[in-house]
Structure 1
């Protein structure tokens, strides 16, 4: 199982294989800053520490709280670790009180406490030096100290992170020796020999504060991973000071993504607030193309469009334009002007054997274009505020276009005549996302938005079939996916989760934590791709089984 916690004060336990939420542990009345596991009498327990100034020990199987450890804390507890003393596994906690408190997890009573005489303690770990197990702490002033957990005596002091708060510590093995890795607000990772109090290496690369460190074994070699506010995860070889891998996010929020085939290769196009469109090979992680002509603040929508048998890419943004690109040559054959505000959504629709392009935006209009000539066929007026999402749907064997937005309505249009076919009312908040889903051969329409609910509609009758509750915040994106021959529905949003729904029962199959706000989602090859405020991730929803599909959100 996997445990997570955060500012909402809850501890959640997940099944990492299925993505399902196993249980939630309630008790803290402040944000949870740290977690660790501990084995007591052969049973794995979970320890949490919080801004409510408590440390709590939980049995994750029974969901019961074993102990609440109330120490002499000011404001909150920032760090936890376990340490073995005289054959007994104990819990160590520290925080704003500048003391180190050692607890007996069996009885829930204090074992030892000593004054660290430092600034706020932000990180803890254990390390073996000359055969002795010591406790390492790092404080807000950038000083690392090691302590004898039995006597409380300070053994070593490493203070070269001058004027830079420490945020992470972990032991790392280099050439058979146990060294100590540290990271902090200065953006560096430093490798220390605590026995000699000397710094062996300094790893430079992060451009802002580092928040986390851990070791990872690759091909039998111990490497070091770091993550920070520059939105990158970096993998280091601590022995050589080299960086074998860097996992980058986009430089700004990613608001749109879609798949596109270029020269026979399935590629991923995505775009966001930095005004660029980037096209990547998801198999190799290399960027193939970058399209830069949008102005204003950000690109909001992407979709592929076929023109004269060639697959092109359409983009739209806050500069009020829709642009048609040839991704192979990085040229822009057409620019579609007409919207008087930012454009939020795009989709293609087939009318009479001709592929047309629909766009919608802040001006409250939906426009239908011929992407080959750049001419506007229709302007659909009816929404009273901005339009956020579009998708094509078949109703009574006729191609239709669905739109939704800030007026809380879902509207269905005839792209042939430019008239409104039906209006679907029910949402009580702004609506951000639409997609079609086929259930038992019937095309239904899914919509979602600020209310945190997904609604399933029959577009023929205009009736609401189902309401899917579960998200704890605004939903930003919807997508259909196919798993083992079955059509499922994915939803994602501000509560930092992706939920997978089974349309046979309309129950949530999996809740997948992604830890960041989700702005877009889609499917490429065997993965559900999520665009977030910090970058992209790809999720194999089927856990290694076949997966493909398509979707549209904002």
Structure 2
């Protein structure tokens, strides 16, 4: 990756013209005094030498000023200019707030009879000060407190992906048993089980309207399921030549983007159930797909280790992000503001990219990820009633040791590690229902688990959040085609497994 070598432009001091002197200054003394003050002003300005900003080297993979993530970009650059601005002493005489006398730049008080040897009182300055600055925002909490609420049983094999509905009232899960289950978030009860795929399901996505669920399967097809009518869409989205591994909706719901083991990215017209555009995206299976919040960009990643950013309208590749050691990339997520991309790789790292500048801002570690394709999400934390300035944000991911790990986005500190799953946690998603922040997870232990953030000061909430693993198993609907499920080969059953040996190192790709 190349980095810009442009030097910061030298900022010249602002020359104060004698014409800009105020009428107060001209009335303060004689012409001789005025001339003396003007000469003093010019002398000060000529002797003032602005300092050139120091050039500082930065190793971007180590990440990492927190300023860019902690504040908005506009505020970031405004604050930078404010701290680097040099001001020269001004000869302008300011009027005192007490008796009409005037205070000059040399710290003496002047009135109509001329200067007199008396220092300016500090109270005069405080009387003219502007509104006091508000106190700085309090620091965010240094840890989270999520507790397990429900354990949802019903899947017969590994659960590859789980996701809240747009309004968080329902949870959809799918896995290697080729079944899609819809759960009620508030009670944990099973609402319905959809069946129709002929092989394991690797991915699912809720349509923005919350009416449809789309699923991608190892049977090379994408199917739609209506949660209102509890029926499948009559049309099957058929076009990929290998496993459909990841899908994502555009924000309007009219476009679905899919990535496949056939190394291609498809853009589907949802209404017509046909491919709008095929992107020859990668030289290895496409493992991750996401669409930015405004629908203008698509991110894809693959086992070739490349992360690519695409223009939705033209299909042009805008950026190719490459790591030096080129580890296989298995999942990619846009940040909520659309400025960054979070990428999971099979070297046990999650990296946050500034894709515009093609550089890594943060590297998150602490989980285990060397074999499976894991996915995670973003979320907010801290009390909503507290003004933190910029709301603190976390990233969360599953781990192959059965844990769920939360990181603070700015500091990279681990905020919490949840234990509960008995095997690899394949997918984690965040949501909020009735003012409560929630996390849902699924994994290789065939379970879906719901976690709720609780107040540490409330003992009642802690008691209510005690997990009840067996209380929701009886509400599940039996599978209708268990024989067909058992006929699937074990090698294809675990739709979410990605062997680390499958990735072929690719040549470095320059930015397009």
TM-score normalised to the size of structure 2?
0.49
**Greater relative CO (CA pairs within 8 A, separation 6+):** 2
Flag the structure with higher strand content: 1
When Rg is computed on C-alpha atoms for both structures, the one with the higher figure is 2
TM-score normalised to the size of structure 1?
0.45
Flag the structure with higher helix content: 2
